[in-house]
A = this chain, B = another copy of it.
Amino acid sequence: MFAGDKLLRIPGPTPVPERIVAAMSQPMIGHRSQDFIKIFLEVLEGLKRLFGTSGDVLVLAGSGTLAMESAVANLLEPGEPCVVAVGGKFGERWAEIVKAFGAEPIIVEYPYGEGLEPAAFAEALAANPKARTAFVTHNESSTAVMNDIRGLAEQARKAGVVLVVDAVSSLGGAPLPMDEWGVDVVVTGSQKCLMLPPGLAFVAVGERAWAKSNERRRTAYYGDWRRYRKAQEGGESPYTPAVSLVRGLAESLRMLEEEGAEARYARHELMKRMVRAGLSALGFEMYASDRWASPTVTAAAGGGVDLEALRKAVRKQTGVVLSGGQGELKGEILRVGHMGAATPLDMVATIAAIEMGMAALGARPEFGRGTGAAMEVWQSWQ
């Protein structure tokens, strides 16, 4: 049966709104032209508001991992120790990149489905005074956990450590006012809460990070922060920027500002609660506890069905695309993305799609139980 276009409810990439598609489809312009410079300067101002910083937000052509790598390459010397928080796949990625550059990650593990306690982070920093940089994950999308960056940054400030935050799957969907919270570096990508296709990476760099970075000898060229800062002063990029994506970004930032940051964060929080209520009503267990639950992605276990079979059935019957677990979590969890261009009504439809998928597997849910629970949350939300 006709199920329409595939509808992504995964933790990125996310659907791209028509307004952004239209912006990206305009005739190509040169990246050294006044037309482009005007757009790019507008974008750079909008990004500062989005990141909550008066500092530089550097725009790179590449994916989020490039932005992560640039932080390691611009901040660490070979052999230098640093603290890395690991509670899932993206924390592991920080550690891998640090090792690839010949620096020494000191791993602070936290349990899957939970966040890192600021007190535990403080202990790790105190135990490793030679580590002057720490790498953490804002939203660990592999386990659907959001860390308490405000609390972690407070400890980093006390210890005088430069704090680098991977906010790839959260920035724009949850507050992360970097100057106010005292975060030094924030990286993100275009294909999550920013509602764009993948291909742009962002690095916001604060004063303390510049100071540490300026002391070291870099091994990066394409990812060398200084080249971006210098070029961006004139509204340019040191290497050819991804022009069409930057045009889409300008439109995306306009959409974000029309909605307003507080309303947007509230929408993500509401969608999270709706999905958790809906899935709980269908008999699933929430993988992340309420305290650490992410506003951009929800992971559920149980449900009495084969979760991989459920994903396939949902996709086939309804066109809705969900994620499973990664690595050792494959088959153990179902992940529902609710970030970027997604609405409360989309969440009702997503829960309905899951009910239909369960029915297709013979699980015979009481239709409307999950969607009803989600709507109750929506109704009571003010």
Q: Chain A interface (Cβ within 8 Å of chain B)?
A: 5-8, 10, 12-16, 21, 24-25, 27-31, 33, 35, 60-66, 69, 72, 96-97, 100-102, 189, 191, 197-199, 218-224, 238-245, 321, 323
Chain B residue nearest to A192 (CB atoms) is B240
Contacts of A29 in B (CB 8 A): 6, 8, 13, 321
C-alpha spacing A321/B242, complex, angstroms: 19
Neighbouring B residues of A243 by C-beta, 8 Å = 13, 191, 197-199
Q: Can you tell how many copies of this chain the complex includes?
A: 2
Contact A63 B220 (CB under 8 A): no
Is B66 a contact of A197 with CB atoms below 8 Å? no
CB pair A221 B30 closer than 8 Å: no
Q: Name the distance in Å between A3's Cβ and chain B's nearest Cβ.
A: 12
Q: List 6 A-B contacts (CB under 8 A).
A: A6-B29, A8-B29, A13-B28, A24-B24, A61-B61, A198-B241
Provide the residues of chain B in CB contact with A97, threshold 8 Å: 221
Expressed in whole angstroms, the Cα–Cα distance for A216 and B61 within the complex equals 27
Judge whether B101 and A64 touch: CB under 8 Å: no
Q: Are A219 and B219 in contact (CB under 8 A)?
A: yes
Q: Is the CB of B28 within 8 A of A242?
A: no
- Kindly provide the distance from the CB of A235 to the nearest chain B CB, expressed in whole angstroms: 16
Distance from A82 Cβ to chain B, minimum over Cβ atoms (Å): 15
Q: Nearest chain-B residue to A34 (Cβ)?
A: B315
CB distance from A39 to the nearest CB of B (A): 13
A66's partner among B13, B14, B222 (CB-CB below 8 A) is B222
**Shortest 5 CB-CB distances between A and B: which pairs?**
A199-B242, A197-B244, A100-B221, A65-B239, A62-B62
Chain B residue with the shortest CB-CB distance to A18: B25
Are B198 and A64 interface neighbours, CB within 8 A?
no
In the complex, which residue of chain B has the Cβ closest to the Cβ of A15?
B28
Which residues of chain B are within 8 angstroms of A238 by Cβ–Cβ distance?
A: 65
Cα distance A236–B242 when bound, in Å? 21
- Our pick among B8, B60, B62, B199 for the contact of A244 (Cβ within 8 Å) is B199
Given A35-B6, A191-B240, A219:B102 Cβ within 8 A: yes
Q: Are B31 and A13 in contact (CB under 8 A)?
A: yes
Name A197's contact: one of B7, B62, B245 (CB within 8 Å): B245
**Other A-B pairs beyond A13-B31, A66-B222, 4, CB < 8 Å:** A8-B30, A13-B240, A65-B240, A222-B223
List residues of chain B with CB within 8 A of the CB of A242.
63, 197-199, 242, 245
| One of B14, B65, B197, B244 near A222 (C-beta < 8 A) | B65
- Are B66 and A239 in contact, CB atoms less than 8 angstroms apart? yes
Q: Which of A31, A66, A240, A323 has the most CB of B within 10 A?
A: A240
Residues of B within 8 A of A16 (CB): 27-28, 244
Q: Let me know if A220 and B28 touch, CB within 8 A.
A: no
Q: Does B27 contact A10, Cβ atoms closer than 8 Å?
A: no
Contacts A30-B13, A240-B198: A100 and B189 contacting too (C-beta < 8 A)?
Answer: no
Per the bound structure, the CA–CA distance linking A14 and B29 in Å amounts to 8
Instruction: Report the Cα distance A189→B35, complex, angstroms.
Output: 22
Would you give the shortest CB distance from A321 to chain B, in whole angstroms?
6
Q: What residue of chain B has the Cβ atom nearest to residue A11's Cβ?
A: B30
